Amino acid sequence: MMKMTSPAELEKYRSSILEGIDSGRPSVSVCCGTGCSASGALEVVSAFERLLEEKGIQANINTKITGCHGFCEQGPLVLLSPGNRLYCKVTEEDVDDIIEETLLANRVVERLLFVDPVTGEKIEKEEEIPFYKKQLRLIFGDNGKMVPTDIRDYLSLGGYSALAKVLKGMGPQEVIQEIKNSRLRGRGGAGFPTGLKWESCDKAEGDIKYVICNADEGDPGCFQDRSLLEGNPHLVLEGMIIGAYAVGASQGYIYVRNEYPLAVKNFSTALEQAREMGLLGENILGSDFSFNIKVVRGGGAFVCGESSALITSIEGRIGEPRYKFVHAAEKGLWDRPTVLNNVKTWAAVPLIINRGAEWFSEIGTEQSKGTMIFSLTGKVNNTGLVEVPMGISLRELIFEIGGGILEGRKFKAVQTGGPSGGCIPEGLLNLPLDFEKLAEVGSMVGSGGMIVMDETTCMVDVAKYFLSFTQEESCGKCVPCREGGEHMLKILERITRGEGEERDLELLKEISDTMQCASLCALGKLAPNPVLTTLKYFPEEYLAHIKDKKCSAGVCKELIEYLIDPEACTGCGRCLKACPTGAISGEKEAVHILDQEQCIKCGNCMEVCRFDAVSVE
């Protein structure tokens, strides 16, 4: 690869790449993000390579291994152009049909099309699938169009043109002003205005400054940062280079979880390529701006996603938060002025520079601009990563993009913002999603987790689950988080065992208040959110556990019983075989009996029964 010594040279090189692209040539893009790879995408790729070669047509067809397309549940995904046809759950065996039918004869392979769970209709084009239709894929959209390990693909889609624009004619102040005007807010959760952060770092005294990319994504079920780093690492990198130029940083760090090997690999490859091309390192694009980036791999502690703990961890010490009365922008990494932003925040920067602050600030709500990527999971039909404009309602997100609740069951709540977010009830489904609105109802945007729950979910159990996560991940430094959280968890365990008392609810609220007000960092301050919101919106469930010793969702083992309906039981013996403790007895073709003494409430019997004879009460 040639080293570019000026923005003009980069543009020339881009033109030469674009000239070499035959847009009429059929192409196959196989998603090889972590999700699709786990469901067999790599085998699909090798089947394509093998069969195209066998058929002697590999030169006529482009095969691309791309990053995550977001619709992981339907993976492995294969996108074919022309036509933008999307095939779902593709296996090795399907590849021959795809080549013969679609690529060579331009016919659709019906069985691989997406079936709308609501209408039962088969949908051919990616953009017509409801999951994609309502999305606004500004940051995430290019993931499916490029090979993340090939910088030429990124360049062909306009990559590094924002950097070239900045170096060609924007001063650092102008860049900061543009980001301020765009009203971009931090996508890591807190929503701090990015432009203001950059400005304070720029104004802070010091000859050495740093920028950091926080890729320590730790929320259970969240993987948007990983997917961006895997699928479009250069976008994040370009954002960081522009940010460093704006604040005058000479060194950058990306702190990424070691559990994200593909993200580490693809980002490291991007760094190498950018260095070779003169987009990173000394005298970037021939200018006098020099900047470099190091990859730091995190050991997997959730609390290291907290900015001060992350900085301490990069410094080589135990990743524990410290008080932040002096902002990192003034005194951060090694006490030098530091800008720390989330992966998605950095990724938004090139877009804003290219398309302008005005364009960006027109998307979203009054207070929250742009788009947000959510990890939509739980009891919805379509799960995956969705990028939507800020301000979209929860209802649209869950029922239109998400395709509604699994198996037609009833919606109960949605938990947003990761383990420290709150549970939002049905009555608030029309709530527009933005930083302020979610905070008002006791939840948060957070890093974009979104877990949908239906009537089979026990809200006390949910609160217990999330609190046990934050307790497990608490660093233990400050008393309210370490001890308070532990006591709250014990109380919730008591309630789910049927040993709760009514005064426990007051105690839960009191401890929550102390944790929120007095904890050292956001982990402790936010950890009570799931408890407080479930107490607020689902008090009757708590009372049912405490007073009636009942768990209406049938989840809390100490409070439920499995029953065999003698009318419905055919004596088939399936439950008897599935029971791990031998609690079920009965002759063949005679009604089976469940001995409650021996039952461990695993639910196997209910799962295997074909006659709906087992119920839970």
Partner 1 sequence: MVSITINGREIKTDQEDITLLQLARSEGIGIPTLCFHKALLPYGACRLCVVEVTGGQNTKIVNSCAYPVREDGISVQTNTPKLKQIRKNILEFLLARCPEIDMVKKMASGLGVKEKRLPEKSLPEDQTEECILCGLCVRVCGEVIGKEAISFVHRGAEREVAAPFYSQSKDCVGCTACHFVCPTGAIKVKESGNKRFISPWNTEITLVTCEMCGISFAPENSGEYLQAKLGLPAEWLKLCPQCRRKVAAETMGKYDFTSRNVILKK
Interface residue list for partner 1 (CB under 8 A): 301, 303, 318, 320, 322-323, 325-326, 471-480, 482-487, 490, 507, 510-511, 513-514, 517-520
Short-list 436, 431, 429, 471, CA closest to 452:
429
Residue 16, CB-side half-sphere exposure with 13 Å CA sphere = 8
Least distance from partner 1 to the Cβ atom of residue 490, Å: 7
Compute CA 594 distance to the chain's CA centroid, rounded to the nearest angstrom. Answer: 43
Short-list 469, 448, 341, CA closest to 384:
448
Rounded to an integer, what distance in angstroms lies between the CA atom of residue 209 and that of residue 187?
Answer: 22
CB neighbour list of residue 272: distance below 8 Å, 6 or more residues apart: none
Q: What are phi and psi of 395, to 5 degrees?
A: -60, -45
Least distance from partner 1 to the Cβ atom of residue 441, Å: 21
Least distance from partner 1 to the Cβ atom of residue 65, Å: 38
Least distance from partner 1 to the Cβ atom of residue 366, Å: 20
For residue 260, what are its two tokens?
């994200």
Which one, 23 or 323, has the nearer CB to partner 1?
323
Q: What residue spans of 337-458 are helical by DSSP H?
A: 343-355, 357-361, 394-395, 435-440
Which one, 231 or 485, has the nearer CB to partner 1?
485
Least distance from partner 1 to the Cβ atom of residue 322, Å: 7
CB neighbour list of residue 587: distance below 8 Å, 6 or more residues apart: 571
Which one, 146 or 301, has the nearer CB to partner 1?
301
Which one, 266 or 512, has the nearer CB to partner 1?
512
Short-list 333, 13, 276, 326, CA closest to 152:
13
Rounded to an integer, what distance in angstroms lies between the CA atom of residue 27 and that of residue 572?
Answer: 52
**Count of CB atoms situated within 10 Å of the CB of 316:** 7
Which one, 8 or 326, has the nearer CB to partner 1?
326
Which one, 115 or 326, has the nearer CB to partner 1?
326
Which one, 257 or 592, has the nearer CB to partner 1?
257
- From residue 114, give the alpha-carbon distance in Å to each of 72, 75, 119, 406, 456: 13, 11, 11, 16, 27
CB 398 within 8 A of CB 429: yes
Peptide bond preceding 26 in cis form (omega within 30 of 0) = no
Least distance from partner 1 to the Cβ atom of residue 514, Å: 4
Least distance from partner 1 to the Cβ atom of residue 446, Å: 20
Least distance from partner 1 to the Cβ atom of residue 92, Å: 44
Which one, 177 or 468, has the nearer CB to partner 1?
468
Name all contacts of 516-521 with Cβ < 8 Å and 24+ positions apart: 518/478, 518/480, 519/478, 519/480, 519/481, 519/484, 520/321, 520/322, 520/323, 520/477, 520/478, 520/481, 521/303, 521/306, 521/308, 521/309, 521/321, 521/478, 521/481
Least distance from partner 1 to the Cβ atom of residue 195, Å: 21
CB 204 within 8 A of CB 293: no
Q: What is the DSSP letter of 83?
A: T
Q: What is the DSSP letter of 364?
A: B
Least distance from partner 1 to the Cβ atom of residue 73, Å: 33
Least distance from partner 1 to the Cβ atom of residue 143, Å: 35
Which one, 301 or 584, has the nearer CB to partner 1?
301
For residue 237, what are its two tokens?
């990198």
Which one, 21 or 326, has the nearer CB to partner 1?
326
Which one, 336 or 379, has the nearer CB to partner 1?
336
Least distance from partner 1 to the Cβ atom of residue 481, Å: 8
Least distance from partner 1 to the Cβ atom of residue 317, Å: 10
Peptide bond preceding 528 in cis form (omega within 30 of 0) = no
Amino acid at position 480, single letter: P
Which one, 150 or 513, has the nearer CB to partner 1?
513
Least distance from partner 1 to the Cβ atom of residue 482, Å: 6
For residue 293, what are its two tokens?
């980036």
CB neighbour list of residue 311: distance below 8 Å, 6 or more residues apart: 212, 328, 332, 333, 338, 340
What is the rounded end-to-end Cα distance, in angstroms, of the chain?
67
Which one, 325 or 610, has the nearer CB to partner 1?
325
Which one, 395 or 525, has the nearer CB to partner 1?
525
Least distance from partner 1 to the Cβ atom of residue 323, Å: 5
Which one, 375 or 519, has the nearer CB to partner 1?
519
Q: Across the beta sheet with 338-342, what order do the strands follow?
A: 292-298, 251-257, 210-215, 338-342
